[in-house]
Amino acid sequence: MLHVAFNYKLLPKNPYEVSYNRLEDYPTWYSLLVKNNIKSSNIEEVLVDVKLGENFIDRRRGFSLFKSWLKVYKIMRNDGYINSFIFVRNIITRFIQFNLLPKQILLILYKLNRK
């Protein structure tokens, strides 16, 4: 499980780009941490425990969300942050996850990931 916390003063005035359908955090973190060469690390402590709502899985499926991931990964590849192999692997994984897996399987995977 990924947990992120940082000083809000590090954020630009308008950090979120709305062109990333439901993935606004990822390009923001990428710009903040990677492009600005800011060191980061993981912590074990859960700072916020978000409950999954009834339509959580529905919001995590579909081609529009896949296109947003594709856009994020293209930026990372073009910047040299990930190589072409990782780019292709991630795109295939995301396509399967968001477009091919049955809803019930995806729900089980999310529940396993939260434990």
CA dihedral 27, 15, 98, 42 (to 10 degrees): 60
Per-residue pLDDT tens over the stretch 6-61: 677 777 666 666 677 777 778 877 877 787 787 777 777 777 776 666 677 777 77
Q: Let me know if residue 3 belongs to a domain.
A: no
The CA distance from 111 to 96, in Å, is 18
Number of domains in the chain: 1
Q: Let me know if residue 2 belongs to a domain.
A: no
What is the arithmetic mean of pLDDT over 81-95? 93
Q: What is the pTM of this model?
A: 0.71
Q: Let me know if residue 34 belongs to a domain.
A: yes
pLDDT tier, 88 (very low <50, low <70, confident <90, very high otherwise)? very high
What is the model's pLDDT at position 83? 96
- Residues spanned by the domain of 87: 8-113
